[in-house]
Amino acid sequence: MIFKVLPKNGLEALFDVLSNNRIIGPVEKARGKNGKILYGFDRICRFENLRLDYTTTTHSPKKFFLPYKEVLSTFILSGRTWQKSVDYNAHQPHVFFGMHACDINALNKLDKVMIESVYPNPYYAAKRRNTFIVGIDCTPQPQCFCRSMNADTVLHGFDMFLTDIGEDYFVEIQTAVAYEILKSVITKEPSAHDHALFMKTVDAKKEKYSCQVDTTDLTKILDMEFQAEVWRDWGNKCLSCGTCANVCPTCYCFGVQESVDLDLQGAVKKMHLYSCNLFDFAEVAGGHNFRPKSHTRLKYRFYHKHRGFVEAFEEPLCVGCGRCGAACLADITVPEVIASVRKEAQGNG
Amino acid sequence: MDKPIPFNDIISGGMGSLPGEDLAGFEYSYLAEITNIYPLTNTDKLYQVQLCDPELRRSFSFKPGQFVMLELPGIGEAPFSISSSPIRHGDIELCIRAIGNLTKFLDRVKRGTQVGISGPFGTSFPVEIMEGSDIFLLAGGLGIVPLRAPLFNILESRSRYGHVDLIYGANTPEKLLFTYQYDAWRKFDIDLQITVDEPDEDWEGHVGLITGILEKKLAGRKSLAHNAYAIVCGPPVMFKFVCNILTEAGLPMQRMFVSLERRMHCGRGKCCRCNIGSTYICLKGPVFDYWSVMNLKEAI
């Protein structure tokens, strides 16, 4: 990895260089009930609107890669035959200015399913490959348990990553494109002092986590406690609304629907993101539902993320961003659910 | 630097695509025509489907137990087990019950309708390794549909297999599928036993569940620990009972194969609708050995 140091007053210059493209970044969206600022990723045209000091965004940047609704294909119908056309819906590159490590890690996890798999998803791949990511370090929030999920730092999947070391940004350069772009702004080589400042920032961040999850032997615990009563308790709280999946940076379940145009000349096939907590998620034709109870669906979500995915990829499908817990209308949080199941296994349930 | 970041043209396989990656293999369907429709029961029909492109027709091959996704533009897309012979390169046969949106629409279409076919997808029954052994084919209800493909394999090279039992049960006599083929199967030395739960006045055969017949068959028989395989297809509730009987008879779990059914929206390991844990039925299944199924929570 190549490192540079970018003086803070050079940030706008970097933004300007990148602004030949469509820039997506954290912006202030609204104020919550308690007056807290709510942030979101959106298109940014002016540097002043960029809020690199954002805590976390309510929604993850997932929607730019896996839109909530997307046209997969369109058909022209003529008599008994038809023609299908496919568009991957990636019409221009996106520059993400200011993505936290957890969200980049989330994309890396999605890559495993969407790209590095038997049938790569071209809709996702087209958008992911045409993305330039500038990462930014963050301050752990009360709901963040990314450190427990090994997602507090990110090793790949971005172009450059900025860490605030006081007067400057410490820049990790991951790609050649990023290196070329940095040539047009003023940077300097990092000194031993800069390295020390970087390490100091990293160490200080470690101290700021207030939330954690013990994942030791979690896959086994989940298997042992599959029938545990505690799942029913969580199921009784859960509203099966799917909000957790909506805000989750790694949830990718979807459904496909087709419809015929009103003039009967064409048809369209659309995907829409779904949630395994919604009632009919595992319903099959004929009406049989494999997970009819609320707790079976909630449990499945945890099994997919913290057992099944670990079995397949040796890492959980969770980056510990805490968005699901923050957004949950029933106040169900991942650390609490996992702790309760662990307690059950220890015989203290 | 006044140039925008270059657009990686992934469609032409330019920058950044991984070797051997086929992005066009995701959203496609081969144009195919329904050449024949045979009503089998009040709700089930056998559709013969032919791929329109002669080149594709020649190269299209599948293994017993695999499925295709069938698409009707604007109506929907769903997975269907291929029910025809994997060896003879004829039309693909799909037996479909009119029960959902797409299948009820299919129920009304006529010969010559063009549909989209993609696949074949999924795992298959390993009929080759079963050669030289006795085979138990156990089907309940629509389970006979995926089971018919490996049955064809066995029929085509009957001498390579030992004793072949086919036990098939349906709710009522009217719901029995492929009745016109039973004599032909028996002629090929298939020990076929049919049973129904609710007989009508004309029914003279067995009444009861297939487990009853299976237990009778196995009574007094040597252990199945060597030289036997089983293929079990049917409703989820059937697997447990049938597989338990076979396990007690000594048949090792890895020699029992089942075909699982789940809703699929993509068939390509993406939509998660068919997931059990993180196992995609469309990729790792639909055919599993019973050991693998035992390790999947809530599979059956």
Q: Report in angstroms the alpha-carbon separations of B175 from A98, A272, B17, B80, B169.
A: 61, 37, 50, 19, 9
- The dihedral over CA atoms of A146, A152, A158, A159, expressed in degrees to the nearest 10, equals 150
pLDDT (tens digit per residue) in B20-75: 456 778 888 899 999 999 999 999 999 999 999 999 998 999 999 999 999 999 99
Domain with CATH 3.40.50.80 in chain B: 134-294
Distance to chain A for B229, nearest Cα, Å: 28
Those residues with Cβ within 8 angstroms of residue B49's Cβ, 6 or more apart along the chain or in another chain = B32, B33, B34, B35, B70, B91, B92, B93, B94, B115, B117
What pTM did the predictor assign?
Answer: 0.91
Number of helical (H) and strand (E) elements in chain A, helices listed first: 12, 11
CA-wise closest residue to B290 among B230, B214, B226, B215: B230
Local confidence pLDDT in tens for the 349 residues of chain A: 899 999 999 999 999 999 888 999 999 999 988 889 999 999 999 999 999 999 999 999 999 999 999 999 999 998 888 898 888 888 888 999 999 999 999 999 999 999 888 888 889 988 888 899 999 999 999 999 999 999 999 999 999 999 999 999 999 999 988 998 999 899 999 999 999 999 999 999 999 999 989 999 999 999 898 888 999 999 999 999 999 999 999 999 999 999 999 999 999 999 999 999 998 888 888 788 888 899 999 999 999 999 988 988 899 999 999 999 999 999 999 999 999 999 989 887 5
Q: Using 50, 70 and 90 to split pLDDT, how confident is the model at B12?
A: very low
CA distance B281 to A126: 26
Coil vs helix vs strand at B224: coil
Q: Does B56 lie at the interface with A, CB-CB under 8 angstroms?
A: no
pLDDT (tens digit per residue) in B176-195: 999 999 999 999 999 999 99
Q: Does B7 lie at the interface with A, CB-CB under 8 angstroms?
A: yes
> What percent of chain B is modeled with pLDDT above 70?
92
Pair of tokens at residue B285:
């299944």
Cα–chain-centroid distance for residue A85? 30
CA distance B136 to A97: 61
| Res B18 pLDDT > 60 | no
Q: Output the average pLDDT for chain B.
A: 88
Q: Using 50, 70 and 90 to split pLDDT, how confident is the model at B2?
A: low
CATH number of B29-121: 2.40.30.10
Distance to chain B for A85, nearest Cα, Å: 9
Residues B266, B118: contact at Cβ < 8 Å? no
Residues of chain B with C-beta less than 8 angstroms from the C-beta of A302: none
Average pLDDT over residues B164-184: 92
How is residue A334 annotated by DSSP? H
Residues of chain B with C-beta less than 8 angstroms from the C-beta of A130: 7-8, 10
B188: phi > 0 → left, psi -120 to 50 → alpha, else beta; which? alpha
- Bridge partners for A84 per DSSP: A75
Those residues with Cβ within 8 angstroms of residue B221's Cβ, 6 or more apart along the chain or in another chain = B249
| Res B9 pLDDT > 90 | no
What pLDDT is attached to residue B7? 61
Which among B263, B266, B275 has CB closest to A304? B275
Domain with CATH 2.40.30.10 in chain B: 29-121
- Please give the full DSSP string across B17-68, using - where no structure is assigned: PPTT--GGGSS--EEEEEEEEEE-SSSEEEEEEEESSHHHHHH----TT-EE
Average pLDDT over residues B255-279: 87
Q: Does B41 lie at the interface with A, CB-CB under 8 angstroms?
A: no
Residues B31, B38: contact at Cβ < 8 Å? no
What pLDDT is attached to residue B8? 57
- The dihedral over CA atoms of A285, A286, A288, A289, expressed in degrees to the nearest 10, equals 40
Q: Using 50, 70 and 90 to split pLDDT, how confident is the model at B95?
A: very high
Determine the longest span between alpha carbons in chain B, in angstroms.
Answer: 87
Residues B225, B131: contact at Cβ < 8 Å? no
Q: Nearest-CA residue of chain A relative to B80?
A: A285
pLDDT (tens digit per residue) in B269-278: 888 888 887 7
What pLDDT is attached to residue A268? 95
CB contact under 8 A, B75 and A258: yes
173-202 of B, contacting A, C-beta below 8 A? none
Distance to chain B for A208, nearest Cα, Å: 33
Residues B87, B153: contact at Cβ < 8 Å? yes
Average pLDDT over residues B127-155: 93
> B134-294: what fold?
Rossmann fold (3.40.50)
Q: Nearest-CA residue of chain B relative to A19?
A: B4
Task: Read off the amino acid at residue A201.
Answer: T
Residues of chain B with C-beta less than 8 angstroms from the C-beta of A132: 5
CA distance B114 to B50: 9
Query: In this complex, how many residue pairs, one in chain A and one in chain B, have their CB atoms less than 8 Å apart?
Result: 181
Best mutation target, B1, B3, B5, B259, to test chain A (most A CBs within 10 A): B5
What pLDDT is attached to residue B13? 40
Residues A190, A170: contact at Cβ < 8 Å? yes
A99: phi > 0 → left, psi -120 to 50 → alpha, else beta; which? beta
Best mutation target, A118, A128, A183, A270, to test chain B (most B CBs within 10 A): A118
Best mutation target, A109, A158, A256, to test chain B (most B CBs within 10 A): A256
Give me the sheet containing A37-43, strands edge to edge.
Answer: A2-7, A168-173, A160-164, A131-136, A94-99, A22-31, A37-43
What pLDDT is attached to residue B295? 79
A115: phi > 0 → left, psi -120 to 50 → alpha, else beta; which? alpha
| Res B198 pLDDT > 70 | yes
Give the H or E element holding residue B185: helix B182-187
